[in-house]
Amino acid sequence: MKERSKSRKTIAAPVNEMRLILPAKSVNEKAARSAVAAFVSVLDPTLSELSDIKCAVSEAVTNCIVHGYRDTPGKGEIYITVRIFEDSLLKITVRDRGCGIANIEEARTPLFTTDPEGERSGMGFAVMESFTDRLTVLSKVGRGTTVKMEKRLGTTLDRV
Amino acid sequence: MSFDSCAVSFDTKDNVLTAAVSGEIDHHSAKAIREKIDAELFYLRPDKLIVDMSRVTFMDSSGLGLIMGRMKSAEEIGCGFALKNPGERIKRLLDLAGADRIFDITEEKASKGEKK
Ligand SMILES: Nc1ncnc2c1ncn2[C@@H]1O[C@H](COP(=O)(O)OP(=O)(O)OP(=O)(O)O)[C@@H](O)[C@H]1O
Ligand SMILES: [Mg+2]
């Protein structure tokens, strides 16, 4: 039996990739989640998976605009990458070059918000966490924030 | 300049103000919705405010802020508050925030929204 090893799981390259740079304007919240939804639609996600992804992306992008670039309203860029790996594994990163987060653990606590006047509920990170399989937040004060989300869809690329 | 993907319409009956929101609620659209509902609410000063979610097609945590904020606006003028017909997606968000226990949620005839 000469079965060739197909498992290069460790450092596999993405099967497909999208990179998006958008100005930090609130109209782009919808643009961003719609673009990501369109890109991942080739994987034939369920309606529920698609809703999860759109909502999680919307949270991350909104945070760049209302928090990351709060000191420079109307300025700044949001960097979004969506990578598709074997077995319908999605990796989405949303990055800003804004003010950064001093205490990430505190920021991730449900209901914690630094902007109650803006009618924020402090649930953004909790939503991202709940609607994806894994959430990683990297941040440096004065440099910016990167949010990484992973989600494996129930379908495979074979079906495309 | 406007890129409104969200709208609100009003209906008053027996001193109950119903604000029916339609479209996508995010941080971008929330501000206009908030201003419209508060303007109507503070002008009419009804006994009760009902926010009808039947026609909302997308919502993120900005929608939670919008709902909680309207509840507070209503409280300010001693007005009751209820949320009508939140779909499955919205219910998940309410559950996450524990908001489902803070105010009344009413369901009126099965909304055609997708079911998981
Ligand atoms: N990109 C970012 N740059 C700087 N600070 C951030 C960023 N993202 C989040 N934060 C900080 O983390 C806190 C929590 O974020 P989270 O998204 O959970 O809640 P929120 O944005 O305050 O409210 P909501 O998302 O419910 O509208 C924010 O209030 C803010 O202080
Ligand atoms: Mg947020």
Q: What mean pLDDT comes out for the span B86-110?
A: 90
pLDDT value of position B99: 86
Q: What mean pLDDT comes out for the span B97-110?
A: 86
pLDDT value of position A47: 94
A74 versus B50: the higher-pLDDT residue is B50
Q: Where are the domains of chain B?
A: 6-106
Given the residues A28, A59, A95, A97, select the one marked as catalytic.
A59
B2 versus B73: the higher-pLDDT residue is B73
Furthest-apart CA atoms within chain B: distance in Å: 40
Strand partners, B39: none
Cα→Cα distances B101→A69, B51, B112, Å = 34, 16, 24
- Residue B68, pLDDT > 50, answer yes
Whole-model pTM? 0.91
Cα→Cα distances B9→A42, A106, B50, Å = 36, 38, 12
A16 is catalytic: no
pLDDT value of position B53: 98
The domain covering B6-106 belongs, at the CATH homologous superfamily level, to: STAS domain (3.30.750.24)
How high is the ipTM of this complex?
A: 0.89
CA angle B60, A119, A30 (to 5 degrees): 35
pLDDT value of position A3: 52
Q: Flag if B64 and A123 touch (Cβ within 8 Å).
A: yes
Domain A16-152 maps to which CATH number in 1.20.58.1910, 3.30.470.10, 3.30.200.20, 3.30.565.10? 3.30.565.10
Residuewise pLDDT in 10s, chain A (160 residues): 445 555 555 678 999 999 999 999 999 999 999 999 999 999 999 999 999 999 999 999 999 999 999 999 889 999 999 999 998 999 999 999 999 999 999 999 999 999 988 899 999 999 999 999 999 999 999 999 999 999 999 844 444 4
Considering only CA atoms, which residue is closest to atom 6 of ligand 1?
Answer: A67
Q: Where are the domains of chain A?
A: 16-152
CA distance B98 to A39: 33
CA distance B1 to A157: 41
Q: What mean pLDDT comes out for the span B50-77?
A: 97
Which residues are CB-neighbours of B39 under 8 A, at least 6 positions away? none
A77 is catalytic: no
Q: Taking Cα atoms as reference points, which of A76, A36, A62 lies closest to residue B27?
A: A62
pLDDT value of position A116: 82
